[in-house]
Protein backbone atom coordinates (compact mmCIF):
# COMPACT_ATOMS: atom_id res chain seq x y z
CA UNK A 1 0.00 0.00 0.00
CA UNK A 2 1.56 3.34 -1.00
CA UNK A 3 1.42 6.64 0.83
CA UNK A 4 -1.45 8.01 -1.24
CA UNK A 5 -3.58 4.95 -0.48
CA UNK A 6 -2.74 5.34 3.19
CA UNK A 7 -3.79 8.96 3.22
CA UNK A 8 -7.04 8.25 1.42
CA UNK A 9 -8.10 5.26 3.43
CA UNK A 10 -6.45 5.85 6.77
CA UNK A 11 -8.81 8.41 8.22
CA UNK A 12 -11.79 6.14 7.68
CA UNK A 13 -10.04 3.40 9.62
CA UNK A 14 -9.05 5.54 12.60
CA UNK A 15 -8.57 3.61 15.80
CA UNK A 16 -7.51 0.31 14.24
CA UNK A 17 -3.78 0.52 14.98
CA UNK A 18 -2.30 0.17 18.42
CA UNK A 19 -1.02 3.35 20.04
CA UNK A 20 2.79 3.45 20.40
CA UNK A 21 4.02 3.47 23.97
CA UNK A 22 5.72 6.86 23.75
CA UNK A 23 2.43 8.55 22.85
CA UNK A 24 0.17 6.81 25.36
CA UNK A 25 -1.72 8.68 28.02
CA UNK A 26 -0.73 12.15 26.94
CA UNK A 27 -1.34 14.62 29.71
CA UNK A 28 -3.12 17.90 29.22
CA UNK A 29 0.29 19.58 29.20
CA UNK A 30 2.14 17.31 26.82
CA UNK A 31 2.97 17.99 23.18
CA UNK A 32 4.53 15.79 20.55
CA UNK A 33 6.29 17.19 17.49
CA UNK A 34 7.40 15.26 14.41
CA UNK A 35 10.09 16.75 12.15
CA UNK A 36 11.33 15.76 8.72
CA UNK A 37 14.96 14.59 8.56
CA UNK A 38 16.47 17.37 10.62
CA UNK A 39 18.00 15.44 13.47
CA UNK A 40 21.17 17.52 13.13
CA UNK A 41 19.34 20.36 14.90
CA UNK A 42 18.93 18.44 18.16
CA UNK A 43 20.97 20.97 20.16
CA UNK A 44 18.91 23.89 18.87
CA UNK A 45 15.59 22.15 19.52
CA UNK A 46 16.61 21.31 23.08
CA UNK A 47 17.26 25.00 23.70
CA UNK A 48 13.98 26.01 22.09
CA UNK A 49 12.00 23.46 24.06
CA UNK A 50 13.68 24.42 27.33
CA UNK A 51 12.82 28.07 26.70
CA UNK A 52 9.21 27.18 25.91
CA UNK A 53 8.87 25.01 29.01
CA UNK A 54 10.30 27.78 31.16
CA UNK A 55 7.52 30.03 29.86
CA UNK A 56 4.92 27.27 30.24
CA UNK A 57 5.62 25.39 33.49
CA UNK A 58 4.56 21.77 33.55
CA UNK A 59 4.63 21.31 29.77
CA UNK A 60 6.28 18.19 28.38
CA UNK A 61 7.54 18.02 24.78
CA UNK A 62 8.25 14.82 22.90
CA UNK A 63 10.33 15.31 19.74
CA UNK A 64 10.44 12.70 16.98
CA UNK A 65 12.34 12.92 13.70
CA UNK A 66 11.93 10.73 10.64
CA UNK A 67 13.73 10.57 7.31
CA UNK A 68 11.87 11.74 4.22
CA UNK A 69 10.79 8.32 2.92
CA UNK A 70 9.60 7.29 6.40
CA UNK A 71 7.73 10.33 7.68
CA UNK A 72 4.53 10.24 5.55
CA UNK A 73 3.82 6.59 6.31
CA UNK A 74 4.66 7.07 9.98
CA UNK A 75 2.36 10.07 10.32
CA UNK A 76 -0.45 8.28 8.52
CA UNK A 77 -0.09 5.30 10.83
CA UNK A 78 -0.47 7.58 13.82
CA UNK A 79 -3.50 9.25 12.24
CA UNK A 80 -5.12 5.85 11.84
CA UNK A 81 -4.36 5.06 15.47
CA UNK A 82 -5.78 8.36 16.65
CA UNK A 83 -2.39 9.26 18.13
CA UNK A 84 -1.05 11.72 15.57
CA UNK A 85 1.71 14.04 16.82
CA UNK A 86 0.35 17.44 17.81
CA UNK A 87 2.72 19.25 15.43
CA UNK A 88 4.16 17.96 12.19
CA UNK A 89 6.81 19.33 9.82
CA UNK A 90 5.59 18.78 6.25
CA UNK A 91 7.48 19.34 3.01
CA UNK A 92 6.35 20.43 -0.45
CA UNK A 93 2.63 20.08 -1.19
CA UNK A 94 2.05 16.82 0.69
CA UNK A 95 0.17 18.77 3.37
CA UNK A 96 -2.73 19.50 0.97
CA UNK A 97 -3.83 15.86 0.92
CA UNK A 98 -4.04 15.74 4.68
CA UNK A 99 -5.72 19.13 4.89
CA UNK A 100 -8.36 18.08 2.36
CA UNK A 101 -8.95 14.82 4.23
CA UNK A 102 -9.53 16.58 7.54
CA UNK A 103 -6.30 15.60 9.28
CA UNK A 104 -4.89 19.11 9.79
CA UNK A 105 -6.17 21.97 11.88
CA UNK A 106 -7.26 25.16 10.11
CA UNK A 107 -4.90 27.83 11.48
CA UNK A 108 -6.81 30.74 9.98
CA UNK A 109 -8.75 31.57 13.19
CA UNK A 110 -5.49 31.74 15.14
CA UNK A 111 -3.97 34.10 12.59
CA UNK A 112 -7.07 36.25 12.51
CA UNK A 113 -6.98 36.50 16.30
CA UNK A 114 -3.27 37.39 16.24
CA UNK A 115 -2.69 39.31 12.97
CA UNK A 116 0.82 40.33 14.00
CA UNK A 117 1.92 36.69 13.82
CA UNK A 118 1.14 36.41 10.11
CA UNK A 119 3.07 39.62 9.48
CA UNK A 120 6.26 37.93 10.68
CA UNK A 121 6.47 35.84 7.52
CA UNK A 122 7.12 36.43 3.84
CA UNK A 123 3.56 36.74 2.55
CA UNK A 124 4.15 34.84 -0.70
CA UNK A 125 5.59 31.87 1.14
CA UNK A 126 2.81 32.01 3.72
CA UNK A 127 0.21 32.14 0.94
CA UNK A 128 1.66 28.96 -0.56
CA UNK A 129 0.26 27.11 2.45
CA UNK A 130 -3.36 28.02 1.74
CA UNK A 131 -5.97 25.50 0.60
CA UNK A 132 -9.64 26.29 0.10
CA UNK A 133 -9.00 29.82 1.46
CA UNK A 134 -7.70 28.39 4.73
CA UNK A 135 -4.15 28.50 6.08
CA UNK A 136 -3.02 25.11 7.37
CA UNK A 137 0.74 25.54 7.65
CA UNK A 138 3.27 28.08 8.98
CA UNK A 139 6.71 28.42 7.31
CA UNK A 140 9.52 26.56 9.07
CA UNK A 141 12.21 26.80 6.42
CA UNK A 142 11.96 27.74 2.77
CA UNK A 143 13.65 27.20 -0.57
CA UNK A 144 12.88 27.62 -4.25
CA UNK A 145 14.67 26.82 -7.47
CA UNK A 146 17.32 28.91 -9.17
CA UNK A 147 19.88 28.41 -11.93
CA UNK A 148 23.45 27.51 -10.98
CA UNK A 149 26.03 27.79 -13.75
CA UNK A 150 29.65 26.76 -14.19
CA UNK A 151 31.46 29.98 -15.13
CA UNK A 152 34.51 28.09 -16.36
CA UNK A 153 32.46 26.08 -18.84
CA UNK A 154 30.59 29.22 -19.88
CA UNK A 155 33.87 30.97 -20.62
CA UNK A 156 35.20 28.02 -22.60
CA UNK A 157 32.02 28.07 -24.72
CA UNK A 158 32.16 31.83 -25.25
CA UNK A 159 29.10 32.49 -23.06
CA UNK A 160 29.13 35.67 -21.02
CA UNK A 161 26.16 35.39 -18.65
CA UNK A 162 23.27 33.21 -17.49
CA UNK A 163 20.58 32.46 -20.11
CA UNK A 164 17.65 34.86 -20.35
CA UNK A 165 15.16 32.57 -22.11
CA UNK A 166 14.23 28.93 -22.51
CA UNK A 167 15.77 28.84 -25.98
CA UNK A 168 19.01 30.21 -24.56
CA UNK A 169 19.04 27.42 -21.96
CA UNK A 170 18.80 24.89 -24.78
CA UNK A 171 21.29 26.69 -27.03
CA UNK A 172 23.79 27.22 -24.22
CA UNK A 173 23.48 23.55 -23.34
CA UNK A 174 24.36 22.56 -26.87
CA UNK A 175 27.28 24.99 -26.94
CA UNK A 176 28.86 23.41 -23.84
CA UNK A 177 28.32 19.78 -24.87
CA UNK A 178 31.67 18.27 -25.75
CA UNK A 179 33.05 14.84 -24.97
CA UNK A 180 32.07 14.00 -21.40
CA UNK A 181 30.69 17.47 -20.80
CA UNK A 182 27.00 18.28 -20.97
CA UNK A 183 25.19 21.59 -20.69
CA UNK A 184 22.20 21.28 -18.38
CA UNK A 185 20.63 19.39 -15.49
CA UNK A 186 17.46 19.89 -13.51
CA UNK A 187 16.06 18.37 -10.36
CA UNK A 188 12.77 16.81 -11.37
CA UNK A 189 10.90 15.63 -8.26
CA UNK A 190 8.05 17.64 -6.71
CA UNK A 191 7.49 19.62 -9.94
CA UNK A 192 10.96 21.19 -9.65
CA UNK A 193 11.33 21.08 -13.43
CA UNK A 194 8.14 23.11 -13.91
CA UNK A 195 9.86 26.50 -14.48
CA UNK A 196 10.96 25.09 -17.86
CA UNK A 197 7.28 24.77 -18.72
CA UNK A 198 6.10 27.97 -17.07
CA UNK A 199 8.64 30.14 -18.89
CA UNK A 200 7.02 28.89 -22.08
CA UNK A 201 3.52 29.73 -20.92
CA UNK A 202 2.53 26.09 -20.39
CA UNK A 203 -0.25 25.59 -17.84
CA UNK A 204 -0.91 22.25 -16.19
CA UNK A 205 -4.63 22.77 -15.57
CA UNK A 206 -7.36 25.14 -16.63
CA UNK A 207 -8.64 27.74 -14.13
CA UNK A 208 -11.17 25.24 -12.79
CA UNK A 209 -8.18 23.24 -11.48
CA UNK A 210 -9.83 20.07 -12.73
CA UNK A 211 -9.24 20.00 -16.48
CA UNK A 212 -5.86 19.39 -18.18
CA UNK A 213 -4.56 22.41 -20.11
CA UNK A 214 -1.10 21.22 -21.09
CA UNK A 215 -1.76 19.32 -24.32
CA UNK A 216 -0.95 22.20 -26.67
CA UNK A 217 1.35 22.76 -29.66
CA UNK A 218 3.62 24.88 -27.45
CA UNK A 219 4.08 22.07 -24.92
CA UNK A 220 4.89 19.66 -27.71
CA UNK A 221 7.41 22.14 -29.13
CA UNK A 222 9.08 22.51 -25.73
CA UNK A 223 9.34 18.76 -25.26
CA UNK A 224 10.71 18.28 -28.75
CA UNK A 225 13.47 20.79 -28.02
CA UNK A 226 14.28 19.11 -24.71
CA UNK A 227 14.30 15.67 -26.34
CA UNK A 228 16.58 16.84 -29.15
CA UNK A 229 19.02 18.46 -26.71
CA UNK A 230 18.99 15.35 -24.52
CA UNK A 231 19.67 13.03 -27.44
CA UNK A 232 22.59 15.17 -28.60
CA UNK A 233 24.19 15.40 -25.15
CA UNK A 234 23.36 19.03 -24.53
CA UNK A 235 21.09 18.04 -21.66
CA UNK A 236 22.39 15.36 -19.33
CA UNK A 237 20.03 12.38 -19.17
CA UNK A 238 20.38 12.36 -15.39
CA UNK A 239 18.09 15.41 -15.49
CA UNK A 240 15.23 13.03 -16.27
CA UNK A 241 16.37 9.87 -14.45
CA UNK A 242 18.06 11.09 -11.25
CA UNK A 243 16.52 12.56 -8.15
CA UNK A 244 18.81 14.39 -5.70
CA UNK A 245 22.20 12.77 -5.26
CA UNK A 246 22.68 11.93 -8.95
CA UNK A 247 22.11 15.36 -10.55
CA UNK A 248 23.86 17.26 -7.77
CA UNK A 249 26.78 14.84 -7.93
CA UNK A 250 27.00 15.20 -11.71
CA UNK A 251 27.09 18.99 -11.44
CA UNK A 252 29.70 18.78 -8.68
CA UNK A 253 31.96 16.87 -11.08
CA UNK A 254 32.50 20.11 -12.99
CA UNK A 255 31.39 18.60 -16.29
CA UNK A 256 27.89 20.12 -16.47
CA UNK A 257 27.25 23.73 -17.41
CA UNK A 258 23.98 24.49 -15.59
CA UNK A 259 21.85 23.07 -12.80
CA UNK A 260 18.24 24.07 -12.14
CA UNK A 261 17.76 23.28 -8.47
CA UNK A 262 16.85 24.83 -5.14
CA UNK A 263 19.25 26.55 -2.78
CA UNK A 264 20.07 23.45 -0.72
CA UNK A 265 21.92 22.09 -3.75
CA UNK A 266 24.61 24.71 -3.26
CA UNK A 267 25.72 23.25 0.06
CA UNK A 268 25.55 19.69 -1.29
CA UNK A 269 27.58 20.57 -4.39
CA UNK A 270 30.12 22.66 -2.51
CA UNK A 271 30.78 19.77 -0.14
CA UNK A 272 31.82 17.60 -3.09
CA UNK A 273 33.37 20.14 -5.45
CA UNK A 274 36.67 21.84 -4.55
CA UNK A 275 36.34 23.90 -7.73
CA UNK A 276 33.38 25.88 -6.36
CA UNK A 277 34.13 29.52 -5.55
CA UNK A 278 32.70 32.92 -6.59
CA UNK A 279 34.92 32.94 -9.70
CA UNK A 280 33.72 29.56 -10.95
CA UNK A 281 30.08 29.26 -9.87
CA UNK A 282 27.25 31.64 -10.65
CA UNK A 283 23.75 31.82 -9.21
CA UNK A 284 20.89 33.45 -11.11
CA UNK A 285 17.14 33.45 -11.40
CA UNK A 286 15.59 31.24 -14.06
CA UNK A 287 14.45 33.05 -17.22
CA UNK A 288 11.29 34.94 -16.41
CA UNK A 289 12.20 34.68 -12.70
CA UNK A 290 10.13 31.49 -12.45
CA UNK A 291 10.82 29.07 -9.62
CA UNK A 292 9.24 26.11 -7.87
CA UNK A 293 9.27 26.15 -4.06
CA UNK A 294 10.08 23.17 -1.89
CA UNK A 295 9.22 24.44 1.56
CA UNK A 296 8.91 22.96 5.01
CA UNK A 297 6.21 24.14 7.36
CA UNK A 298 4.59 23.31 10.68
CA UNK A 299 1.01 22.05 10.74
CA UNK A 300 -1.09 21.02 13.74
CA UNK A 301 -3.00 17.77 13.73
CA UNK A 302 -6.74 18.34 14.00
CA UNK A 303 -6.86 15.52 16.56
CA UNK A 304 -4.51 17.37 18.93
CA UNK A 305 -5.90 17.51 22.45
CA UNK A 306 -3.90 20.68 23.05
CA UNK A 307 -4.31 22.79 19.89
CA UNK A 308 -3.83 26.13 21.67
CA UNK A 309 -0.63 24.92 23.29
CA UNK A 310 0.54 23.46 19.96
CA UNK A 311 -0.10 26.81 18.29
CA UNK A 312 1.93 28.50 21.00
CA UNK A 313 4.87 26.16 20.30
CA UNK A 314 4.63 26.74 16.55
CA UNK A 315 4.73 30.50 17.17
CA UNK A 316 7.65 30.01 19.53
CA UNK A 317 9.73 28.02 17.01
CA UNK A 318 8.99 30.27 14.03
CA UNK A 319 9.06 33.60 15.86
CA UNK A 320 11.90 36.09 15.58
CA UNK A 321 14.15 34.73 18.32
CA UNK A 322 14.35 31.06 17.43
CA UNK A 323 13.88 31.43 13.69
CA UNK A 324 16.92 33.72 13.77
CA UNK A 325 18.96 31.13 15.65
CA UNK A 326 17.88 28.48 13.15
CA UNK A 327 18.75 30.67 10.16
CA UNK A 328 22.17 31.58 11.51
CA UNK A 329 23.19 28.13 12.71
CA UNK A 330 22.04 26.15 9.69
CA UNK A 331 22.55 28.80 7.00
CA UNK A 332 18.99 28.47 5.91
CA UNK A 333 16.07 30.77 5.24
CA UNK A 334 13.01 30.45 7.42
CA UNK A 335 10.36 32.66 5.84
CA UNK A 336 10.51 34.84 8.95
CA UNK A 337 11.43 38.29 7.60
CA UNK A 338 13.50 39.50 10.56
CA UNK A 339 15.28 36.19 11.03
CA UNK A 340 16.26 35.90 7.39
CA UNK A 341 17.71 39.40 7.34
CA UNK A 342 20.02 38.54 10.23
CA UNK A 343 20.90 35.18 8.68
CA UNK A 344 21.70 36.71 5.30
CA UNK A 345 23.88 39.40 6.83
CA UNK A 346 25.92 36.79 8.68
CA UNK A 347 26.29 34.56 5.61
CA UNK A 348 27.36 37.53 3.50
CA UNK A 349 30.31 38.14 5.78
CA UNK A 350 31.33 34.47 5.87
CA UNK A 351 30.49 33.16 2.39
CA UNK A 352 29.55 35.75 -0.28
CA UNK A 353 28.63 33.03 -2.78
CA UNK A 354 26.23 31.35 -0.35
CA UNK A 355 24.75 34.80 0.27
CA UNK A 356 24.16 35.26 -3.48
CA UNK A 357 22.47 31.86 -3.63
CA UNK A 358 20.23 32.47 -0.62
CA UNK A 359 19.32 35.98 -1.77
CA UNK A 360 17.62 34.49 -4.84
CA UNK A 361 15.22 32.73 -2.49
CA UNK A 362 13.74 36.02 -1.32
CA UNK A 363 13.54 37.64 -4.75
CA UNK A 364 10.60 37.32 -7.15
CA UNK A 365 8.60 35.22 -4.71
CA UNK A 366 5.52 36.27 -6.67
CA UNK A 367 6.72 34.12 -9.59
CA UNK A 368 6.60 30.75 -7.86
CA UNK A 369 4.97 27.96 -9.85
CA UNK A 370 4.41 24.21 -9.74
CA UNK A 371 2.83 24.48 -6.29
CA UNK A 372 -0.84 23.98 -7.03
CA UNK A 373 -2.89 23.20 -3.89
CA UNK A 374 -4.21 19.89 -5.21
CA UNK A 375 -5.41 17.19 -2.80
CA UNK A 376 -4.41 14.66 -5.46
CA UNK A 377 -1.07 16.33 -6.24
CA UNK A 378 0.97 13.13 -5.98
CA UNK A 379 -1.32 11.20 -8.34
CA UNK A 380 -1.37 14.02 -10.91
CA UNK A 381 2.41 14.33 -10.68
CA UNK A 382 2.98 10.63 -11.24
CA UNK A 383 0.57 10.48 -14.19
CA UNK A 384 2.11 13.51 -15.89
CA UNK A 385 5.78 12.88 -15.13
CA UNK A 386 5.80 9.40 -16.64
CA UNK A 387 4.91 10.87 -20.03
CA UNK A 388 7.36 13.76 -19.69
CA UNK A 389 10.08 11.16 -19.21
CA UNK A 390 8.87 9.23 -22.24
CA UNK A 391 9.03 12.36 -24.38
CA UNK A 392 12.39 13.81 -23.32
CA UNK A 393 14.12 10.42 -23.35
CA UNK A 394 12.80 9.62 -26.83
CA UNK A 395 10.62 6.70 -25.83
CA UNK A 396 7.61 8.38 -27.43
CA UNK A 397 7.19 11.35 -29.70
CA UNK A 398 6.04 14.43 -27.81
CA UNK A 399 2.61 14.55 -29.42
CA UNK A 400 1.80 10.96 -28.42
CA UNK A 401 3.24 11.44 -24.94
CA UNK A 402 1.08 14.51 -24.27
CA UNK A 403 -2.05 12.80 -25.55
CA UNK A 404 -1.35 9.90 -23.22
CA UNK A 405 -0.60 12.29 -20.35
CA UNK A 406 -3.88 14.12 -20.92
CA UNK A 407 -5.83 10.87 -20.69
CA UNK A 408 -3.93 9.80 -17.56
CA UNK A 409 -4.37 13.13 -15.76
CA UNK A 410 -8.04 13.28 -16.74
CA UNK A 411 -8.59 9.85 -15.16
CA UNK A 412 -6.89 11.03 -11.97
CA UNK A 413 -9.00 14.18 -11.79
CA UNK A 414 -12.22 12.23 -12.35
CA UNK A 415 -11.38 9.88 -9.48
CA UNK A 416 -10.72 12.70 -7.05
- pLDDT tens readout for residues 26-42: 447 899 999 999 999 99
Is residue 119 domain-shared with residue 179, that is, in the same domain? no
Specify whether 188 is located in the same domain as 223: yes
Residue 416 pLDDT level (bands cut at 50, 70, 90): confident
Q: Indicate whether 359 pLDDT > 70.
A: yes
- 386 and 400 co-located in one domain: yes
Q: What is the pLDDT of residue 68?
A: 86
pLDDT at 308: 97
On whether residue 371 sits in a domain, the answer given is no
pLDDT digits (tens, 9 = 90+) for 187-243: 999 999 999 999 999 999 999 999 999 999 999 999 999 999 999 999 999 999 999
In a domain, 43, yes or no: yes
- Asked whether residue 402 falls in the same domain as residue 262, the answer is yes
CATH of the domain at 190: 3.40.190.10
Residues 124 and 59 occupy one common structural domain? yes
Same-domain pairing of 167 and 315: no
Q: What value does the mean pLDDT of the chain take?
A: 93
Specify whether 150 is located in the same domain as 21. no
Q: What is the pLDDT of residues 317-329, one digit of tens each?
A: 999 999 999 999 9
Domains identified in the chain, total number: 2
Identify whether 236 is part of a domain.
yes
Q: What percent of the chain has pLDDT over 70?
A: 94
Residue 138's nearest CA partner among 123, 151, 149 is 123
* Mean pLDDT confidence for 333-362: 97
pLDDT surpasses 70 at 5:
no
Are the C-beta atoms of residues 32 and 62 closer than 8 Å to each other?
Answer: yes
User: Does 392 lie in the same domain as 287?
Assistant: yes
Boundary-marking domain end, from 325, 348, 366: 366
- Say if residue 386 is in the same domain as residue 361: no
Q: Is residue 19 pLDDT above 90, yes or no?
A: no
Instruction: Please check whether residue 262 lies inside any domain of the structure.
Output: yes
Reply yes or no on whether the pLDDT at 23 is more than 70. no
Residue 21 has pLDDT above 80, yes or no: no
List the domain range (segments joined by +) for residue 175.
145-291+376-415
Mean pLDDT of 86-100: 96
145: confidence class by pLDDT, cuts 50, 70, 90: very high
Q: Is residue 401 part of a domain?
A: yes
Question: Residue 129 above 80 pLDDT?
Answer: yes
- The answer to whether residue 26 is domain-embedded is yes
Cα–Cα distance between 346 and 351 in angstroms, integer?
9
| Pick from 1-15, 78-92, 297-311, 348-362: least confident | 1-15
pLDDT per position as a tens digit, 267-294: 999 999 999 999 999 999 999 999 999 9
Tens-place pLDDT, residues 364-373: 999 999 999 9
Q: What is the reported pLDDT for 10? A: 44
**pLDDT score at 20:** 47
- The predicted structure's pLDDT at residue 28: 72
User: What count of residues does the chain have?
Assistant: 416
Looking at the domain assignment, is residue 327 inside a domain?
yes
pLDDT above 60 for 18: no
Based on the domain organization, do 276 and 204 belong to the same domain? yes
Residues 187 and 217 reside in one and the same domain? yes
Confidence of residue 15 (pLDDT cuts 50, 70, 90): very low
Question: Is the same domain home to 115 and 196?
Answer: no
Q: pTM, whole model, 2 decimals?
A: 0.91
Query: Domain boundary at 342, 366, 390, which?
Result: 366
Amino acid sequence: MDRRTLIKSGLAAAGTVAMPAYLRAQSNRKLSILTWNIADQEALFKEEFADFKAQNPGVEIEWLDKKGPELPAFYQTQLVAGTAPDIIDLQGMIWVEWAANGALLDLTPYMQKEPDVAKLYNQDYLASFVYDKKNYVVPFYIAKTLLFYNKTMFKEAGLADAPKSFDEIVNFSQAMAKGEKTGFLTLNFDWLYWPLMQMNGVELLKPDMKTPAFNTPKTIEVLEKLAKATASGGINKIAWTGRWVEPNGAFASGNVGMLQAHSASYFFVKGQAPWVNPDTLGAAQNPGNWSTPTNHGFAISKSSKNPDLAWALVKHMTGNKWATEFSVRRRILTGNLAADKVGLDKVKAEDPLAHAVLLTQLEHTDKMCGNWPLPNDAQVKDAFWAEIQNAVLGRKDAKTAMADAERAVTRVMRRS
